[in-house]
Structure formats: structure tokens, C-alpha cells
Amino acid sequence: MGVLAIRHRHRLRHLRRRHTDTGSDHADDGRGPDDPALLLRHRVGLARPQELITRLPVGAATPRCYDQAVVSHSSATIDPAWLPLYEEIADCPRCALARTRTQTVPGAGPARADIMLIGEAPGAREDESGLPFVGPSGRFLDELLAGIGLSRDTVYIANVVKCRPPANRDPEPAEIEACEDYLDRQIAIVDPRVIVTLGRFSMARWFPGEAISRVHGKPKHAAGRTVVPMYHPAAALHRGDLRPVIQADFATLPALIAAAGTTEAAPPTSNTEQLT
């Protein structure tokens, strides 16, 4: 039995014990320890299941999009290097989003990776699953990664904001600032060669004042890393003409990774624009 299976079995045993002994974990709303909503939370291995199960109907079947997320992450374990930070993020009270979230969405992936993808903020499905990029935009992201021989198991994915803004509105500057330290620490742990920003809010950190239509796919060097701004995968869901544009930008990543591995802090070459 793998480490993940052992960990999940332990979590479920602990949950059943708490349910029986103390009546906690929403025993009063008719949920048994084998309720799909409870099992879902422990299958993905995230903290504080009570925050999700209050939003799912008693006895409800596990939503298919969450099953897909679980399957795609089922072979992975949470690297111990992430646990202190993830636990801190899970209890974060730094902004008003703490009062409206179902749960935090810290990130997903190995503690060391050549590529780190940084999105904007969790949406409704991410808020319920606890995983980044779940749903149609996530499926397109999986397709983009597969197209260059990568997968979620080989990259790290995070957002600039760790909680869902209500009604999927844009994250506010104060919310981005509240999460900035978390993102700094994630970058330090992953130590990626290449950072890919997905969308204008993550792009703004390295490309302030720029328009994504002008700089997408144009890497710059910053603090010894290569940073590449790209359209958010969700943009292609609304504008089909952006799909091949995003695919073409992603196709440049293998060469950028290879170059970053041999020229860690080299000045930009002719095809790498130094944007300031």
C-alpha cells in the first residue's frame, strides 16, 4: 500500500472515530462517515473537511469534476516541505475573503519543479475542491501541459490569491498583497527555473503596467529566473481565437527550461526581451 493510501485510510479512520465519539463533523446534519462529500475531502487529502461538506447536499454524489481532479492527483502525495505553509494558509485571516471562502486553495505539485505556473484566484470549483485549475480551464491546462510532455505531477501550480473572491470577481489589490508573502515562500520552496504567469493579475507582479496582449509569450529575466507571461487558459474558453495563441506560447517552454538550466542568470538573448 502506498503512502497516500495509508494516509487516506488513517484520515478516514480518524474521521469515523470523531463522528462516533463526539458527533462532530456534521453528525447532526445526517452525514455518516461514508457520505460522498466527506470521502471526497479525505480522498484529496486536504484539511478541514467541514468547510466543504456544509456546501454539498447530504448524500450527494461526488461531482464529476472533483472525481477528475482526484484521479489526476491520486498518485501524488503532499510533500512534507509544504505542510507548515499549507496549514498556515488554511487558517489565514488576513483579509475579508476568509469570511466567504469554503476553504483555501494553496497550490498543488511537487516541492521542487522546473516550472511554476501562477494563476489569479480560485473559482467556485476550486473553492469547493481545494485544488487549483479544476473544471474547463483546468482541462485545457492539462492539455497544454501534455502537449509539451509535462503534467501536473511535474509542475507546481498556485494562484496569487489563495481564496475565492465572491462571485468570481477580480481580486482586489489588498487581497493580492495579503497573499504576497505566501507566494514568495512558494517560489522560494519550488525554486523554479521558469515562472509562467497566467492572466493579467499574476503578470502584474513582474510586468507592471503592461498589457498582456503586448507581452504574452515574451520572457524576461528576473532574480535569476525566466518569467513568461501568458493568457489565462480561461481566456480561450471565451475567445476561441486565443486557443492557438496560448498553445504556441506554451510550446516555447521546453526550450526556455533548457536555456535556463545552462544560463542561470545570463543576460537576455535576441529572442528574450528584457522588459522593464
pLDDT tens per residue, range 71-86: 344 334 688 999 999 9
Mean pLDDT to the nearest integer, 174-202: 98
Mean pLDDT to the nearest integer, 204-225: 96
Query: Which position has the higher pLDDT, 24 or 177?
Result: 177
Among 152-161, 200-209, 249-258, 262-271, name the one with the lowest average pLDDT.
262-271
Q: Tell me: the pLDDT tens digits for 84-119?
A: 999 999 999 999 999 999 999 999 999 999 999 999
| DSSP output for the chain | --HHHHHHHHHHHHHHHHHHHH-TTTGGGT--TT-HHHHHHHHTT-S-THHHHTTS-TTPPPPHHHHHHHHHHTT----GGGHHHHHHHHT--SSGGGGT-SS----BS-SS-SEEEEES---HHHHHHSSSS-SHHHHHHHHHHHHTT--TTTSEEEESSSSPPGGGPPPPHHHHHHHHHHHHHHHHHH--SEEEEESHHHHTTTSTT--HHHHTT--EEETTEEEEEE--HHHHHH-TTHHHHHHHHHTTHHHHHHHHHH-TTPPP-TTS----
Mean pLDDT to the nearest integer, 47-55: 40
Q: Are the C-beta atoms of 134 and 66 separated by less than 8 Å?
A: yes
Q: What is the pLDDT of residue 78?
A: 84
Instruction: Find how far residue 35's CA is from the centre of its chain.
Output: 26
Question: In this model, does residue 48 exceed pLDDT 90?
Answer: no
Give the other-Cβ count within 10 Å of 128's Cβ: 24
Q: What cell numbers appear for 37 in the block? A: 462529500
Q: What cell numbers appear for 160 in the block? A: 496569487
Query: Which position has the higher pLDDT, 77 or 167?
Result: 167
Percent of the chain, pLDDT > 90? Answer: 65
Among 12-16, 80-84, 125-129, 226-230, name the one with the lowest average pLDDT.
12-16
Q: What is the pLDDT of residue 262?
A: 66
Q: What is the pLDDT of residue 6?
A: 35
pTM over 0.85: no
Question: In this model, does residue 198 exceed pLDDT 50?
Answer: yes
On average, the pLDDT of the chain sits at: 79
Query: Which position has the higher pLDDT, 10 or 136?
Result: 136
Q: What is the pLDDT of residue 261?
A: 79
Between the alpha carbon of residue 206 and those of residues 28, 143, 158, 198, the distances in Å are: 49, 26, 16, 12
The pLDDT confidence band at residue 25, using thresholds 50, 70 and 90, is very low
Q: Are the C-beta atoms of 199 and 212 separated by less than 8 Å?
A: yes
The residues, any chain, with a CB within 8 Å of residue 171's CB and separated by 6 or more, are: 120, 121, 160, 161, 165, 201
Question: In this model, does residue 43 exceed pLDDT 90?
Answer: no
Q: What is the pLDDT of residue 14?
A: 40
Domains of the chain: 1-62 (no CATH), 76-262 (3.40.470.10)
The residues, any chain, with a CB within 8 Å of residue 6's CB and separated by 6 or more, are: none
